Amino acid sequence: MHPKAGTILRLFRAEVGYVSGEYLSRELGVSRTAVWKHITALRNNGYRIEAVTSRGYRLVSSPDNIDPHEIQTQLSITKIGQRLEFLKQTSSTNADAFRLAEDGAVEGTVVLADSQTGGKGRRGRLWTSPSGVNLYCSVVLRPSIMPHEAPQLTFLSAVAAARAIELTTGLTPEIKWPNDLLVSGKKVAGLLNEMSAETDGINFVILGIGVNLNMTADQFPDELRHPATSLFLESGTRIDRSSFTSTLLNELDRLYADFLTHGFGPVREEWQRRCNANGRQVVVTDSGTECRGGRFIGIDSDGAMLLRSDDDLLHRITCGDVRVI
């Protein structure tokens, strides 16, 4: 996309109604004919732009593709998204981000893909990643924290994804320990963080985020262990993938800046408030076997779940599946 076309999009977004051709030509420092050429190029790229004589132009809708330039025009960040890599297809954005980080990529580098052929889920599972519908995103972070504190960043990404879903759709997602995002009890997003570390510090962390945006029921594999859904299926409205991506990156950026200044406390508080088990009675199962019951108290600074059993003992749980009863 031509930088002037990017500026036109930014100016459209800053206005509620029409933007006059004269104003655009003044702001861009080009002739009205040149403005018209950029508008035509934007239309050819799928932007619907209305033109009304004596009023000007209005952006009606943006194309449903992930467009890094489009995303950049909507970012208000200091770190996350300062470098954006977009791939039409890849094996796994986490693997790509890991390689880039090993080669010295700057903190805040983001890898996005339209589809993944080997999307990585937790516990070695495959993350279904068809093209044209969802968000697959990995972010490189280089925080000065100890390796055992790295799970705090997974909680941070869960909160950012929950906020982005809420801001975009008005739906209120719940977080299920350790890090699934649910809408109406069905999984809508998953997080997979990976890291490179030494005993005394972290080289980098990769935040891997997958959100089912516009997937339809027939695109989910039959063998999913947990019921899954998409924001489109839950809200009935198609989600603009570029806008969603920028909302997510803006929220990640804010939360990460806050994390670096104030530590894990604010993230932990918001994560617990959004957790489906907060303060409730739960059962933890491991490989299908019930291993512990109790009241969900919260999460520890290393990500362990804290349960209080009926005999008033506090238990730290680090693996298993939680069911609210």
Please give the residue ranges that form the binding site for ligand BTN (CB under 6 A). Answer: 92-94, 116, 119-122, 125, 127, 136-138, 180, 190-192, 208-210
What is the helix (H) or strand (E) element at residue 139, kind and residue range? strand 135-141
CB of 92 to ligand BTN, least distance (A): 3
CB of 17 to ligand BTN, least distance (A): 37
Quick one: 49 or 206, whose CB is closer to ligand BTN? 206
d(CA 177, CA 323) in angstroms, rounded, equals 10
Quick one: 19 or 152, whose CB is closer to ligand BTN? 152
Quick one: 145 or 161, whose CB is closer to ligand BTN? 161
For 168-182, give one letter per residue: b (16+ CB within 10 A) or e: bbeeebbbbbbbbbb
Quick one: 173 or 210, whose CB is closer to ligand BTN? 210
Quick one: 122 or 142, whose CB is closer to ligand BTN? 122
CB of 69 to ligand BTN, least distance (A): 21
**Is the bond leading into 178 cis (omega within 30 degrees of zero)?**
yes
What is the helix (H) or strand (E) element at residue 99, kind and residue range? helix 93-102
CB of 148 to ligand BTN, least distance (A): 21
CB of 247 to ligand BTN, least distance (A): 17
Quick one: 169 or 193, whose CB is closer to ligand BTN? 193
For residue 85, count other CB atoms closer than 10 A to its CB: 17
The token pair at 155 is 């909680």
The token pair at 265 is 């406390």
Residue nearest to ligand BTN (CB): 190
To the nearest 5 percent, what fractions of the chain are helix, strand and coil? 35, 30, 35
For 35-52, give one letter per residue: b (16+ CB within 10 A) or e: beebbeebeeeebebeee
Residue 26, classed as helix, strand or coil, is: helix
CB of 160 to ligand BTN, least distance (A): 14
